[in-house]
């Protein structure tokens, strides 16, 4: 039987999304890391590791470099693991244009390209092949706008240092830049009064006092905050009871500068006072002023 503190982390995602960075971060944190593990070997690995007196934590990468039938068989394989071993499954992804840029910069060969399939086609096919793993993921991270250090920080805060209970992240974003791929819940606050249309406020963000004063003076903003807060108060424990370890709550306005930033800040402050693992991220703040 596995030690109560034994952890198994499975990393997957499309090529170029940052899997090597995550494996390196986990190895630095003391995990035994294995890249490109055939899924069929996972039960034997877990049995061997949990039988070890040292009870080492394990992180494995399973991706499209293995055969497609092996990927499709992963859900059934996971059911054969000991009942007291519940893996954290991390799925990394990025926008296809970003993945193309990363491969162009490194000049690496994509594992699915050949004389009949272009890089863009290989990236699209890879997403389809990995859909069974993505559907199993307990945590998804969109690395499109993350630096290597920011990705390592996300892994440390949300995965390595994860305390008991659900890990909650509030994420502000702008709809003009796209809805976050890693969002579990999305709240659209574009209906609220927009400070952007006041030229004297345009250069500030939701972290600045002039914007905060503007939004606090609008009753609709307070009502929106209270509605989101009550929703999360009502349903967070249900997500946790359903074995959800991670929840990303995305708050979106037009450009991701003012309303979404302000509300994400307020929600983070409120829930951090009563939850051990609450993070805050502003995806688009500073990208533009719209």
Model confidence pLDDT, tens digit, residues 7-57: 999 999 999 999 999 999 999 999 999 999 999 999 999 988 877 767 679
Final residue of a structural domain among 145, 160, 175: 160
Whether 172 contacts 283, CB under 8 Å = yes
Asked if residue 143 and residue 187 are part of one domain, the reply reads: no
Asked if residue 133 and residue 68 are part of one domain, the reply reads: yes
Asked if residue 255 and residue 144 are part of one domain, the reply reads: no
Asked if residue 19 and residue 125 are part of one domain, the reply reads: yes
- At 69-107, the pLDDT tens digits run 888 899 999 999 988 888 999 999 999 999 999 988 877
Structural domain contains residue 128: yes
Asked if residue 215 and residue 78 are part of one domain, the reply reads: no
- At 123-181, the pLDDT tens digits run 999 999 999 999 999 999 999 989 999 999 999 988 888 767 788 999 999 999 999 99
Rounded to an integer, what distance in angstroms lies between the CA atom of residue 71 and that of residue 204? 47
Give the pLDDT of residue 53: 63
Structural domain contains residue 265: yes
Structural domain contains residue 175: yes
Is the pLDDT score of 245 beyond 60? Answer: yes
Structural domain contains residue 92: yes
Is the pLDDT score of 243 beyond 80? Answer: no
Give the pLDDT of residue 211: 97
Final residue of a structural domain among 118, 134, 160: 160
Rounded to an integer, what distance in angstroms lies between the CA atom of residue 139 and that of residue 245? 8
Burial of 218 (C-beta count, 10 Å sphere; 0-12/13-18/19+): middle
Structural domain contains residue 148: yes
Q: How many domains does the chain have?
A: 2
Asked if residue 224 and residue 208 are part of one domain, the reply reads: yes
List the 278-282 sheet strands across, edge first. 185-188, 246-253, 167-174, 278-282
Asked if residue 268 and residue 217 are part of one domain, the reply reads: yes
Asked if residue 237 and residue 136 are part of one domain, the reply reads: no
Q: Which residue has the higher pLDDT, 83 or 267?
A: 267
Tell me the residue range of the domain where 239 lies: 167-282
Q: Give the CATH number for residue 53.
A: 3.40.50.300
Asked if residue 111 and residue 13 are part of one domain, the reply reads: yes
Structural domain contains residue 179: yes
Asked if residue 128 and residue 51 are part of one domain, the reply reads: yes
Rounded to an integer, what distance in angstroms lies between the CA atom of residue 5 and that of residue 56? 9
Final residue of a structural domain among 160, 194, 211: 160
Structural domain contains residue 34: yes
Give the pLDDT of residue 262: 98
Half-sphere exposure of 214 (CA within 13 A, CB side): 22
Asked if residue 172 and residue 146 are part of one domain, the reply reads: no
72-100 in b/e form (b: 16+ CB < 10 A) is eebeeebeebeeebebbbbbbbbebebbb
Asked if residue 94 and residue 38 are part of one domain, the reply reads: yes
Give the pLDDT of residue 6: 84
Rounded to an integer, what distance in angstroms lies between the CA atom of residue 246 and that of residue 56? 23
Q: For residue 188, what are the CA distances in angstroms to 114, 185, 214, 224?
A: 42, 10, 19, 10
Structural domain contains residue 288: no
Which among 98, 28, 90 is positioned nearest to 62, based on CA atoms? 90
């Amino acid at each position: 039987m596995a030690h109560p503190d034994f952890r198994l982390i499975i990393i997957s995602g499309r090529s170029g999304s940052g899997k090597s960075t995550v494996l390196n971060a986990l190895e630095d944190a003391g995990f035994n890391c294995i890249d490109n593990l055939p899924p069929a070997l996972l039960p034997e690995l877990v049995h061997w590791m949990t039988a070890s007196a040292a009870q080492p934590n394990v992180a494995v990468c399973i991706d499209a470099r293995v055969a497609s039938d092996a990927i499709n068989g992963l859900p059934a394989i996971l059911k054969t693991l000991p009942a007291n071993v519940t893996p954290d499954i991390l799925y990394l992804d990025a926008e296809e244009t970003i993945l193309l840029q990363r491969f162009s910069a490194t000049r690496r060969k994509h594992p699915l390209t050949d004389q009949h399939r272009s890089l863009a086609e290989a990236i699209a096919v890879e997403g389809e092949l990995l859909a069974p793993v993505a559907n199993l993921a307990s945590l998804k991270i969109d690395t499109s706008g993350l630096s290597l250090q920011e990705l390592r920080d996300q892994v440390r805060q949300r995965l390595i240092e994860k305390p008991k209970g659900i890990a909650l992240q509030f994420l502000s974003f702008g709809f003009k830049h796209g809805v976050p791929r890693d969002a579990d819940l999305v709240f659209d606050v574009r209906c609220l009064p927009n400070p952007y249309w006041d030229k004297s406020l345009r250069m500030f963000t939701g972290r600045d006092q002039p914007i905060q004063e503007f939004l606090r003076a609008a009753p609709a903003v307070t009502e929106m905050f209270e509605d989101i807060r009550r929703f999360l108060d009502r349903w967070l424990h249900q997500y946790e009871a359903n074995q959800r370890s991670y929840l990303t709550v995305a708050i979106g306005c037009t450009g991701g500068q003012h309303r979404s930033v302000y509300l994400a800040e307020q929600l983070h402050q409120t829930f951090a006072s009563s939850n051990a693992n609450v993070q805050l991220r502003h995806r688009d703040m500073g990208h533009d002023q719209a």
